[in-house]
Amino acid sequence: MTQSVWDATTLPEFSKVDPANIVADLDTLLEKNRADIDAVVSKNTAPTWASLVLPLDNIHDRLSHFWSPISHLNSVQNTPEIREAYNASLPKLSEYYTELGQNKALYEAYKALANSDEAKHLTAAQTEALTQTIRDFELSGVGLEGAAKKRYGEISARLSELGSQFGENVLDATRAWSKLITDEAELAGLPESALAQAKQMAEAKGKDGWLFTLDIPSYLPVLSYADNQALREEMYTAYATRASEQSDDGKFDNAPLIDEILALRHEMAQILGFDNYAELSVATKMAENGQQVVDFLDDLAVKSKPSAEQDLAGLKAFAKQEHGVDTLNAWDVGYYAEKLREKKYAISQEVLRPYFPINKVTSGLFYVAQTLFGVDIREESDFDTYHQDVKLFTISKDGVDVARFFLDPFAREGKRGGAWMDECRVRRRIDESQLQLPVAYLVCNFTPPIGDQPALLTHDEVTTLFHEFGHGLHHMLTQVDVSSVSGINGVAWDAVELPSQFMENWCWEPEALAHIAGHFESGEPLPQDLLDKMLAAKNFQSGMQMVRQLEFSLFDFRLHREYKAGISVQAVLDDVRSTVAVMTPPAFNRFQNSFSHIFAGGYAAGYYSYKWAEVLSADAFSKFEEDGIFNTETGAHFRDTILANGGSRSAAELFEAFRGREPRVDALLRHSGIAA
């Protein structure tokens, strides 16, 4: 009988991570892994799944168990010691993975298994894993010889260093800027929650007054509500020039890194036989080629831009008529948009905040998952943690534990901005009698609790939590036992956002909001009039939001597709804006210098994935609109097709299995309030 493994080794022991030992321990482990891999290869003259793949999985997972908590701490509890050890480890890991990807004997062993009689009897997941592994060997330059092989290794190592440095520069530049205000009159218009948070931050630094930083929970309220235009301009300018030549004496300037990253990616793609990095990127995605991606984005832009132009015209007219503003600057847009939203719908994120205390939102999220997917979620009290805000939960189905996840919800110093889900443990078959269960990290940067009051979320933050939990469910509810296609592994990158964006839909459904929202003091549900206003305002300026995302997507993809030596990154961005954007940022804006998704994350020539997957998620959700948003049969069908199969079948095949047809774009345009 299979035993699911839930012993001490299944969860990271954060308290035992000693930065002083990381590099030496990694060296020892990599040496052991290399020897073990050689031993597996030499034994496999006639490879079988059990003799080749399972032992290699155990070797790979051993390294993952070691590195996962270190990498996680580097993102969420960044100290000089962790950072130093992390950066010293990156070249070693890069070299190891490059060697692995170019190990000809290993590649031949996988090919021998794929061509063997045993291969005819493998499961669909095993077959897909083999296909993807062989493809990945080829995309890692296994066929390279001599100088090209050596150069590929150098590029891989340098790119991993540059990506880390890019992210650190953004973190350090964000950290380097703060503003203390001692005269409350300068803060007119700011909501009570933002003032209380700024006061608490000042007190934490032993100062009187209100302290503001460029972290989103501090920055966004100023841009949205501060009547003080000079303060909005100052903060916008600081935020928009982070990690550029214009701030901190250029100490954290990411521009030279961007140039080097692009040149190296292009060179790598050419070494592997691709015209450019965009084509290399698409080789592992749902999209068939680069032209299909550009056409998809251009088509959405044509359909969305008229709506965006209307949005902007309405905003300008309102700012002029009601507030006498002739010129709408970049730092005015959010402010007057909030004023217009309040006038039109008498609603703001702040009015909603008291109805979304984090505990109520979390229990509502769990209710949605439990109802749709037939799972139970319970909190654990005893575990090794790295910060008091972190919680641990176990997911079970039919009384059997299936997964766990850490939730780290609040912004704090030394924590990377944004929100993400990451793999802590992958579900996989260890041997015939043992199954390792999946564990996920869910990380957000919400406004922390203030004083005795619980953390109150904006509705935007609520949708962020649902989004990341969707990624988590994809990782945790997998039924695949083959690690390389289990959970989010092996899923085409432009389909990986499907479950996350899909989950956001419940944040807008009255039937679901009855469980998600409740006043933090009285517990009373979201009043009907507020709910009506919130739903009416759902697509407020959605045209402008759509073209903004298309701007990022096209910039990323064209930059990698049209790259040539000496290319001007700014010129590409300006050209994209001239065709897609309705509002052009000021010339000093250096958005690209903090675009971590594509320069320090996995989204290079793949940022379009958000929009591509949004088509899938909107269309998938339209099935629930037809059947009932809490229809348990439809929920189980989604779980058993999309979530359970991970990367074991193609995303297109799984979507059709769920929807009964190919995806259509009309649901996305309808949900966004942009008629085709």
Domain boundary among 111, 139, 167: 139
Same domain, 455 and 578: no
Same domain, 602 and 616: no
Note if 468 is an active site residue. yes
Distance from C-alpha of 465 to C-alpha of 460, rounded to nearest angstrom? 9
Six-digit token pair at 81?
A: 């010691």
Domain boundary among 607, 629, 651: 607
Same domain, 240 and 314: no
- Containing structural domain, residue 192: 177-250
Q: What is the pLDDT of residue 432?
A: 82
Band of the pLDDT at 675, cuts 50, 70, 90?
low
Q: What is the CATH number of the domain that holds 400?
A: 1.10.1370.40
Domain assignment present for 154: no
Same domain, 133 and 267: no
Per-residue pLDDT reduced to its tens digit, 326-358: 999 999 999 999 999 999 999 888 899 999 999
Residue 551: half-sphere exposure toward Cβ, Cα within 13 Å: 25
Q: What is the pLDDT of residue 8?
A: 39
Domain assignment present for 146: no
Q: What is the pLDDT of residue 665?
A: 87
Hey, is 212 helix, strand or coil?
Answer: strand
Percent with pLDDT over 90 in the chain:
94
Same domain, 43 and 122: yes
Q: Taking residues 252-258, report their average pLDDT.
A: 98
3-state secondary structure string, 96-157? HHHHHHCCHHHHHHHHHHHCCCHHHHCCHHHHHHHHHHHHHHHHCCCCCCHHHHHHHHHHHH
Domain assignment present for 83: yes
Q: Taking residues 140-169, report their average pLDDT.
A: 96
* Mean pLDDT across the chain: 95
Cα 117 to Cα 113, 120, 482, distances in angstroms: 8, 6, 20
Strands in 428-431's sheet, in edge-to-edge order, are 3-5, 434-436, 428-431
Q: What is the pLDDT of residue 4?
A: 58
Per-residue pLDDT reduced to its tens digit, 95-128: 999 999 999 999 999 999 999 999 999 999 999 9
Same domain, 358 and 299: no
Is residue 48 predicted with pLDDT exceeding 50?
yes
Cα 83 to Cα 77, 95, 145, distances in angstroms: 10, 19, 35
User: What are the backbone angles phi and psi of residue 159, rounded to the nearest 5°?
Assistant: -65, -35
Q: What's the angle, vertex CA 184, arms to CA 181 and CA 188, rounded to 5?
A: 110
Is residue 676 predicted with pLDDT exceeding 80?
no
Is residue 232 predicted with pLDDT exceeding 60?
yes
Q: Taking residues 214-243, report their average pLDDT.
A: 97
List the single range of 181-190, 291-300, 663-672 with lowest mean pLDDT.
Answer: 663-672
Per-residue pLDDT reduced to its tens digit, 17-43: 999 999 999 999 999 999 999 999 999
Is residue 3 predicted with pLDDT exceeding 80?
no
Per-residue pLDDT reduced to its tens digit, 506-523: 999 999 999 999 999 999
Per-residue pLDDT reduced to its tens digit, 406-465: 999 999 999 999 999 999 999 999 888 899 999 999 999 999 999 999 999 999 999 999
Is residue 6 predicted with pLDDT exceeding 60?
no
Same domain, 336 and 478: no
Same domain, 574 and 475: no
Q: Are the beta carbons of 638 and 659 closer than 8 angstroms?
A: no
Domain boundary among 84, 112, 139: 139
Domain assignment present for 454: yes
Strand 178-181, strand 400-410: pairing: unpaired
Same domain, 235 and 320: no
Is residue 563 predicted with pLDDT exceeding 60?
yes
Same domain, 506 and 554: no
Q: Which residues contact 2 (CB under 8 A, 6 or more apart)?
A: 432, 433, 434, 435
Distance from C-alpha of 520 to C-alpha of 355, rounded to nearest angstrom? 6
Q: What is the CATH number of the domain that holds 16?
A: 1.20.1050.40
Q: What is the pLDDT of residue 673?
A: 87
Domain assignment present for 147: no
Domain assignment present for 284: yes
Same domain, 262 and 286: yes
Per-residue pLDDT reduced to its tens digit, 375-389: 999 999 999 999 999
Domain assignment present for 107: yes
Band of the pLDDT at 1, cuts 50, 70, 90?
very low
Q: In total, how many domains does the chain have?
A: 4
Q: What is the pLDDT of residue 10?
A: 77
Write down the catalytic residue from 350, 423, 468, 614.
468
Domain assignment present for 617: yes
Same domain, 578 and 665: no
Q: What is the CATH number of the domain that holds 325?
A: 1.10.1370.10
